[in-house]
Amino acid sequence: MIALGLALAGVIGLSLGLLGGGGSILTVPIFVYVLGYGAKESIAMGLAVVGTTSLVGAASHWRRGNVHLKKALTFGGLAMAGTYAGARLAAYVPGAIQLSLFGAVMLVAAWSMFRNAAGVQPVEGEAPAATAGSMALITLVSLAVGLLTGLVGVGGGFLIVPALVLFGRLPMKQAVGSSLLVIALNSFVGLAGYAGQVELPWKLLAGFVVLAVAGILVGTRLTRYVSQAGLKRAFAVLLVVMGAFILFKNRSELFPPGPESTLQTEQL
């Protein structure tokens, strides 16, 4: 199973390189259902993988001039506060509840990818200057994304990119590059928030990260040869299946059996 998990690390990186996001959301399910780690350990390891791969992607975008450092740090600074709070809050949330929230996030991400693949995208080009209202909204979105990252271990790129476009007034390419930097900062802060809560298998994690980074480099080179819309639709279907599976596996935490069903079980 370790060999399979490491092979899937390359697939995660490949999808990140091809799609510019999304692959990181598969990291936690692989650690839980393929490699057999607990929810909290898997979320912490997922943050390490997401942070490192996103940092590599951000460096690539930086060389192309697609990172707006000021807005990335503004958004990231607010999000980091939420991420650390979410990671500390996770100590009081049962692992099954965290996984259930993760499954719900996967379904939202799938909807976002379906919508994006259908061509509903923000318009390229520089938008007007941000208003006070948009700054208030970006503050709320930043804190919410950070809290989600710390609590369930997702990068949140499917939320960060639209937020940077709509509220941060960035063109699409800069929003994508800047979001990777925000995700990296969030993930590392979230990982620090899990310090003392879990013990991590650092050797396995290092191998997983190396393969994921190799995958993202290969995926980036392959982008010119594949249909992005088709890939996003296929990936969205995978997210729906995985999200539904995770919710089904943790249904007893969401809908605990009533007294009558418990009594019937005991009688059997």
- CA pair distance 63, 220, nearest whole angstrom: 14
CA dihedral 119, 121, 125, 127 (to 10 degrees): 150
**Which one-letter amino acid corresponds to residue 12?**
I
Reading the block at residue 26, the tokens are: 């598969």
Tell me, what's the pLDDT at 133? 56
State which H helix or E strand residue 261 sits in: helix 259-267
Q: Is residue 140 part of a domain?
A: yes
Neighbours of 113 (CB within 10 A): 25
- CA pair distance 213, 154, nearest whole angstrom: 17
Q: Please state the φ and ψ torsions of residue 166, each to the nearest 5 degrees.
A: -80, -40
Reading the block at residue 197, the tokens are: 């809560």
Q: Is residue 221 part of a domain?
A: yes
Q: Which among 223, 19, 181, 32 has a CA at the least distance from the CA of 112?
A: 19
Tell me, what's the pLDDT at 127? 47
Burial zone of 170 (CB within 10 Å; 0-12 exposed, 13-18 middle, 19+ buried): buried
- CB proximity list for 91: less than 8 A, separation 6 or greater: 197
- CA pair distance 160, 156, nearest whole angstrom: 6
Tell me, what's the pLDDT at 119? 59
Q: Is residue 18 part of a domain?
A: yes
Tell me, what's the pLDDT at 132? 54
Tell me, what's the pLDDT at 117? 62
Q: Is residue 185 part of a domain?
A: yes
Question: Which domain range does residue 59 map to?
Answer: 2-253
Tell me, what's the pLDDT at 45? 92
Q: How many separate domains does the chain show? A: 1
CA dihedral 59, 109, 29, 103 (to 10 degrees): 150
Neighbours of 149 (CB within 10 A): 34
Q: Is residue 264 part of a domain?
A: no
Q: Is residue 259 part of a domain?
A: no
- CA pair distance 223, 220, nearest whole angstrom: 6
Tell me, what's the pLDDT at 128? 47
Q: 92 — alpha (psi -120 to 50), left (phi > 0) or beta?
A: alpha
Does the pTM exceed 0.85? no
Q: Is residue 197 part of a domain?
A: yes
Tell me, what's the pLDDT at 167? 73
Q: Is residue 267 part of a domain?
A: no
pLDDT profile of the chain (268 residues), mean per 10: 85 74 77 91 89 85 87 88 89 87 83 68 49 68 84 76 76 82 88 87 92 84 73 77 85 65 49
